[in-house]
Protein backbone atom coordinates (compact mmCIF):
# COMPACT_ATOMS: atom_id res chain seq x y z
CA UNK A 1 0.00 0.00 0.00
CA UNK A 2 1.20 3.53 -0.80
CA UNK A 3 0.71 6.72 1.17
CA UNK A 4 0.15 10.14 -0.36
CA UNK A 5 3.91 10.82 -0.28
CA UNK A 6 4.68 7.68 -2.24
CA UNK A 7 6.31 5.54 0.48
CA UNK A 8 5.28 1.90 0.63
CA UNK A 9 4.65 -0.76 3.24
CA UNK A 10 4.52 -4.48 2.58
CA UNK A 11 1.53 -6.72 3.24
CA UNK A 12 3.22 -8.42 6.20
CA UNK A 13 3.70 -5.10 7.99
CA UNK A 14 0.16 -4.04 7.10
CA UNK A 15 -1.16 -7.27 8.63
CA UNK A 16 0.99 -6.76 11.74
CA UNK A 17 -0.43 -3.27 12.23
CA UNK A 18 -3.99 -4.51 11.94
CA UNK A 19 -3.35 -7.42 14.32
CA UNK A 20 -1.84 -5.11 16.95
CA UNK A 21 -4.95 -2.92 17.08
CA UNK A 22 -7.54 -3.75 19.79
CA UNK A 23 -10.01 -5.08 17.22
CA UNK A 24 -13.17 -3.72 18.89
CA UNK A 25 -14.40 -1.87 15.75
CA UNK A 26 -15.82 0.77 18.10
CA UNK A 27 -15.68 3.71 15.69
CA UNK A 28 -14.35 6.17 18.30
CA UNK A 29 -11.29 6.85 16.12
CA UNK A 30 -13.52 8.06 13.28
CA UNK A 31 -13.32 4.85 11.27
CA UNK A 32 -15.98 2.15 11.35
CA UNK A 33 -13.55 -0.77 11.67
CA UNK A 34 -10.01 -1.33 12.93
CA UNK A 35 -8.84 -2.44 9.47
CA UNK A 36 -9.94 0.94 8.09
CA UNK A 37 -8.06 2.69 10.89
CA UNK A 38 -4.98 0.56 10.07
CA UNK A 39 -5.20 1.66 6.44
CA UNK A 40 -5.41 5.31 7.48
CA UNK A 41 -2.36 4.87 9.72
CA UNK A 42 -0.37 3.39 6.83
CA UNK A 43 -1.35 6.32 4.61
CA UNK A 44 -0.41 8.80 7.36
CA UNK A 45 -3.98 10.13 7.49
CA UNK A 46 -4.52 9.64 11.23
CA UNK A 47 -2.54 9.18 14.47
CA UNK A 48 -2.31 6.31 16.95
CA UNK A 49 -3.70 8.59 19.66
CA UNK A 50 -7.09 8.51 17.93
CA UNK A 51 -7.51 4.94 19.21
CA UNK A 52 -8.53 5.47 22.84
CA UNK A 53 -7.95 1.83 23.74
CA UNK A 54 -4.25 2.06 22.81
CA UNK A 55 -3.89 4.65 25.60
CA UNK A 56 -4.84 2.04 28.20
CA UNK A 57 -2.08 0.27 30.11
CA UNK A 58 -3.20 -3.16 28.91
CA UNK A 59 -2.26 -2.15 25.34
CA UNK A 60 1.10 -0.49 26.16
CA UNK A 61 3.13 -3.22 24.42
CA UNK A 62 0.92 -3.07 21.32
CA UNK A 63 1.27 0.70 21.15
CA UNK A 64 5.06 0.53 21.50
CA UNK A 65 5.31 -2.08 18.76
CA UNK A 66 3.00 -0.09 16.50
CA UNK A 67 5.08 3.06 16.99
CA UNK A 68 8.20 1.06 16.12
CA UNK A 69 6.67 -0.24 12.88
CA UNK A 70 5.46 3.21 11.84
CA UNK A 71 8.88 4.74 12.54
CA UNK A 72 10.64 1.90 10.70
CA UNK A 73 8.45 2.54 7.68
CA UNK A 74 9.08 6.33 7.93
CA UNK A 75 5.36 6.95 8.42
CA UNK A 76 6.01 8.82 11.65
CA UNK A 77 9.33 10.55 12.47
CA UNK A 78 11.93 9.15 14.83
CA UNK A 79 11.29 10.21 18.42
CA UNK A 80 13.22 13.34 19.37
CA UNK A 81 15.91 12.67 21.97
CA UNK A 82 17.06 15.10 24.65
CA UNK A 83 20.42 14.26 26.23
CA UNK A 84 21.89 16.03 29.26
CA UNK A 85 25.38 17.34 28.52
CA UNK A 86 26.70 16.95 32.07
CA UNK A 87 25.51 13.42 32.87
CA UNK A 88 24.59 11.95 29.49
CA UNK A 89 21.13 10.90 30.75
CA UNK A 90 18.23 10.97 28.32
CA UNK A 91 15.36 13.28 29.26
CA UNK A 92 11.72 12.79 28.34
CA UNK A 93 11.13 16.48 27.62
CA UNK A 94 12.68 19.93 27.57
CA UNK A 95 10.86 22.53 29.63
CA UNK A 96 10.82 25.87 27.80
CA UNK A 97 9.60 29.32 28.93
CA UNK A 98 5.96 30.34 28.92
CA UNK A 99 5.11 32.72 26.03
CA UNK A 100 6.80 36.09 26.45
CA UNK A 101 8.99 34.94 29.35
CA UNK A 102 12.77 34.46 29.52
CA UNK A 103 13.06 31.09 31.26
CA UNK A 104 10.76 28.42 32.63
CA UNK A 105 9.54 29.35 36.10
CA UNK A 106 11.09 27.96 39.26
CA UNK A 107 9.33 27.73 42.61
CA UNK A 108 11.82 28.09 45.48
CA UNK A 109 11.78 27.42 49.21
CA UNK A 110 14.36 29.85 50.64
CA UNK A 111 16.07 28.81 53.87
CA UNK A 112 16.78 32.49 54.58
CA UNK A 113 14.32 34.58 56.61
CA UNK A 114 15.00 37.64 54.45
CA UNK A 115 11.77 39.44 53.53
CA UNK A 116 11.26 39.08 49.78
CA UNK A 117 8.82 40.68 47.35
CA UNK A 118 7.90 40.74 43.68
CA UNK A 119 10.59 42.40 41.54
CA UNK A 120 13.52 41.67 43.87
CA UNK A 121 16.65 40.19 42.34
CA UNK A 122 18.18 37.39 44.38
CA UNK A 123 21.42 35.44 44.41
CA UNK A 124 21.12 31.84 45.60
CA UNK A 125 22.34 28.27 45.14
CA UNK A 126 19.79 25.49 44.60
CA UNK A 127 20.20 22.59 47.03
CA UNK A 128 22.18 19.88 45.23
CA UNK A 129 23.44 22.18 42.47
CA UNK A 130 27.00 23.61 42.41
CA UNK A 131 26.05 26.67 40.32
CA UNK A 132 25.18 30.08 41.79
CA UNK A 133 21.95 31.46 40.27
CA UNK A 134 20.55 34.96 39.94
CA UNK A 135 16.80 35.38 39.52
CA UNK A 136 14.02 37.95 39.51
CA UNK A 137 11.06 37.25 41.79
CA UNK A 138 7.72 37.06 39.96
CA UNK A 139 5.59 36.41 43.04
CA UNK A 140 5.77 35.56 46.75
CA UNK A 141 3.24 33.41 48.58
CA UNK A 142 3.68 32.60 52.27
CA UNK A 143 7.43 32.20 51.93
CA UNK A 144 7.36 30.45 48.55
CA UNK A 145 8.81 32.47 45.69
CA UNK A 146 8.35 31.99 41.95
CA UNK A 147 11.26 33.28 39.88
CA UNK A 148 12.80 33.69 36.45
CA UNK A 149 16.48 32.88 36.07
CA UNK A 150 18.55 35.84 34.82
CA UNK A 151 22.14 34.70 35.45
CA UNK A 152 24.83 34.16 36.50
CA UNK A 153 26.74 35.21 33.38
CA UNK A 154 25.77 38.83 32.78
CA UNK A 155 24.88 39.40 36.42
CA UNK A 156 28.51 38.77 37.37
CA UNK A 157 29.84 41.45 34.98
CA UNK A 158 31.86 43.79 37.26
CA UNK A 159 31.26 46.72 34.90
CA UNK A 160 27.52 46.61 35.48
CA UNK A 161 25.91 47.97 38.61
CA UNK A 162 23.00 46.03 40.04
CA UNK A 163 21.37 45.41 43.38
CA UNK A 164 20.60 41.93 44.59
CA UNK A 165 20.03 40.07 47.84
CA UNK A 166 22.12 37.03 48.65
CA UNK A 167 19.69 34.56 50.25
CA UNK A 168 22.03 31.58 50.27
CA UNK A 169 20.73 28.05 49.85
CA UNK A 170 17.25 27.35 48.39
CA UNK A 171 15.32 24.17 47.75
CA UNK A 172 13.76 24.00 44.28
CA UNK A 173 10.18 22.85 44.76
CA UNK A 174 8.82 23.05 41.23
CA UNK A 175 9.08 24.17 37.62
CA UNK A 176 6.50 25.53 35.20
CA UNK A 177 6.96 25.79 31.45
CA UNK A 178 6.05 24.69 27.95
CA UNK A 179 6.79 21.10 26.98
CA UNK A 180 9.06 20.33 24.05
CA UNK A 181 8.54 16.65 23.28
CA UNK A 182 5.73 14.27 24.13
CA UNK A 183 3.28 15.80 26.59
CA UNK A 184 3.37 13.81 29.87
CA UNK A 185 0.32 12.80 31.87
CA UNK A 186 -0.60 14.33 35.24
CA UNK A 187 0.85 12.09 37.95
CA UNK A 188 3.64 10.84 35.69
CA UNK A 189 7.26 10.99 36.87
CA UNK A 190 9.39 12.58 34.16
CA UNK A 191 13.01 13.30 33.40
CA UNK A 192 13.34 16.81 32.03
CA UNK A 193 15.87 19.43 31.00
CA UNK A 194 15.04 23.00 32.06
CA UNK A 195 15.71 25.00 28.91
CA UNK A 196 17.81 27.55 30.83
CA UNK A 197 19.87 25.05 32.86
CA UNK A 198 23.47 26.23 32.69
CA UNK A 199 24.83 22.71 33.27
CA UNK A 200 22.26 21.08 30.96
CA UNK A 201 21.67 18.49 33.68
CA UNK A 202 18.63 16.21 33.63
CA UNK A 203 16.19 16.76 36.51
CA UNK A 204 13.31 14.56 37.59
CA UNK A 205 9.91 15.27 39.12
CA UNK A 206 6.19 14.56 39.09
CA UNK A 207 3.73 16.33 36.78
CA UNK A 208 1.02 17.82 39.02
CA UNK A 209 -0.77 20.08 36.55
CA UNK A 210 -1.21 20.23 32.78
CA UNK A 211 -2.95 22.88 30.68
CA UNK A 212 -2.44 22.68 26.94
CA UNK A 213 1.34 22.35 26.47
CA UNK A 214 2.09 23.94 29.87
CA UNK A 215 2.96 21.69 32.79
CA UNK A 216 3.90 22.13 36.43
CA UNK A 217 6.43 19.67 37.81
CA UNK A 218 7.03 19.25 41.55
CA UNK A 219 9.06 16.95 43.79
CA UNK A 220 12.22 18.04 41.98
CA UNK A 221 15.32 15.88 42.25
CA UNK A 222 18.72 16.21 40.58
CA UNK A 223 19.24 12.47 41.08
CA UNK A 224 17.86 10.50 38.15
CA UNK A 225 17.04 6.82 38.68
Q: Write the pLDDT tens digit of every residue in 157-196.
A: 555 556 889 999 999 999 999 999 889 999 999 999 998 8
| pLDDT, tens digit, 9 for 90 and up, residues 34-78 | 999 999 998 888 888 899 999 888 998 999 899 888 888 888 776
The closest alpha carbon to 209, from 187, 193, 190, belongs to 187
Give me the domains of the chain, ranges plus CATH numbers.
11-72 (1.10.15), 82-221 (no CATH)
More confident of the two residues 216 and 82: 216
For the entire predicted model, the pTM comes to 0.65
Cβ-proximal residues to 104 (8 Å cutoff; 6+ apart), any chain: 95, 96, 97, 98, 175, 176, 177, 178, 194, 195, 196
Amino acid sequence: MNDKKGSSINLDQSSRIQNLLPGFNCGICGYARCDEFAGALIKNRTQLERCRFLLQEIFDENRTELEGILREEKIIPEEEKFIGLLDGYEADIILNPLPGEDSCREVLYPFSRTELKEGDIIKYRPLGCPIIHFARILSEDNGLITVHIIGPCHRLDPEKEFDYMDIGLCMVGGFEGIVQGKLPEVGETVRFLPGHCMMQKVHSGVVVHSEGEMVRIEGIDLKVW
